[in-house]
Amino acid sequence: MIWICFAIFLGACFAAGSTGGLFPPGAWYRDLRKPRWTPPNWLFPVAWSMLYLCMAAAGARVAVSADNALAMALWSLQIALNGLWTPVFFGLRRMRLGLGVLCALWLSVAATCAALWQVDWIAGVLFLPYLAWVSVAAALNFSVLRLNPDQAEGRTAGPA
Amino acid sequence: MIWICFAIFLGACFAAGSTGGLFPPGAWYRDLRKPRWTPPNWLFPVAWSMLYLCMAAAGARVAVSADNALAMALWSLQIALNGLWTPVFFGLRRMRLGLGVLCALWLSVAATCAALWQVDWIAGVLFLPYLAWVSVAAALNFSVLRLNPDQAEGRTAGPA
């Protein structure tokens, strides 16, 4: 059962992560002013692939444990928020709203990490790299927003 | 605990559903040829609001039950797929890919419904309207794709 759950949680990660391929950074992002410490583009899919494996493993370990209610509800919340950022930032190019989504994601990941830890400390540890990466992503979104204030609100008020 | 879980699952539904406000149908969708039985635009947010309440209630009931591993993993998968369709269809205007997402969503909702039912039949029943609505949405996506073959692949190969 734990392996079936791992595969399903990994499928949820893949669904959220597919937005990265559907809404690629492109020329708009390349031409933005970015901080010196911006990670190279190739690192993002590599990092997310590792994180997804950890997230799915954490979800599966806790799914087969008792008293997992809070952790399972929060795991669902964080994956729903995870899939939202890319369409907002790269699809709509709304950097300010993207930062709001990342802050909500950070809070949900921190809460999920804590709730997982209560059930199974290994699952909690598996969420720590994710929390660290979302912190970097939020700092990057904030810096790019600050360095490109004219681009903060996206291209159009309508659909992308 | 069940009410806290209900609120968190509802938050996950809201995160997925917020794509409906971020990527509105707009003039492009209005001008597409649509089948006679197309529901009016106002019905979609009303229907989804009802469905989200049912989905969150089903999630919370099963989260606080024993032997919920498969149901909880599948609940996460369906919400991740749920938030993907709107950016693909209304953001990228890729109707063919949108139909693929809806087929994956339908399968995940059917599997979640069955897994919830195994744990708590009321939770399974609460997912039936969702399965019915996704069936309607898939039929609509298919019809619109068939009636507008020139629009099937979206506007651009790049970002929306």
| pLDDT level of residue B41 (50, 70, 90 thresholds) | confident
**Is pLDDT above 80 for A153?**
no
Predicted pLDDT at A158: 42
**Is pLDDT above 80 for B159?**
no
**Is pLDDT above 50 for B158?**
no
Tokens standing for B123?
């939770």
Amino acid identity, residue A41?
N
Question: Environment class of residue A131 by beta-carbon count within 10 Å: exposed (0-12), middle (13-18) or buried (19+)?
Answer: middle
Predicted pLDDT at A160: 44
Cα(A66)–Cα(B13) distance, rounded to whole angstroms? 24
Q: What is the CA radius of gyration of chain A?
A: 16
Cα(A9)–Cα(A75) distance, rounded to whole angstroms? 9
Predicted pLDDT at A155: 65
**Is pLDDT above 90 for A154?**
no
Check the CA dihedral B95-B96-B101-B106 and report its sign: positive
B32 closest CA partner among B146, B137, B128: B146
Q: Chain B closest CA to A11's CA: distance in Å? A: 6
- Chain Cα centroid distance, residue B131: 9
**Is pLDDT above 70 for A150?**
yes
Predicted pLDDT at B151: 82
Q: What number of helices (H) and strands (E) belong to chain B?
A: 7, 0
* Residue among B19, B80, B88 whose CB faces A16 most closely: B80
- Chain Cα centroid distance, residue A160: 21
- Higher model confidence: residue A49 or residue B159? A49
Distances from the Cα of B72 to the Cα of A43, A76, A117, B17, B31, angstroms: 31, 8, 17, 19, 40
Tell me the per-residue pLDDT of A65-110, one tens digit each, with 9 for 90 and over: 999 999 999 999 999 999 999 999 999 999 999 999 999 999 999 9
The ipTM estimated for the assembled molecules is 0.93
**Nearest chain A residue (CA) to B92:** A160
**Is pLDDT above 50 for A157?**
no
CB atoms A12 and B64 under 8 Å? no
To which residue do tokens 């039929």 refer?
Answer: B139
**Is pLDDT above 60 for B4?**
yes
* Residue among B59, B77, B160 whose CB faces A15 most closely: B77
Cα(A152)–Cα(A20) distance, rounded to whole angstroms? 20
Arithmetic mean of pLDDT, B85-93: 94
Predicted pLDDT at B129: 98
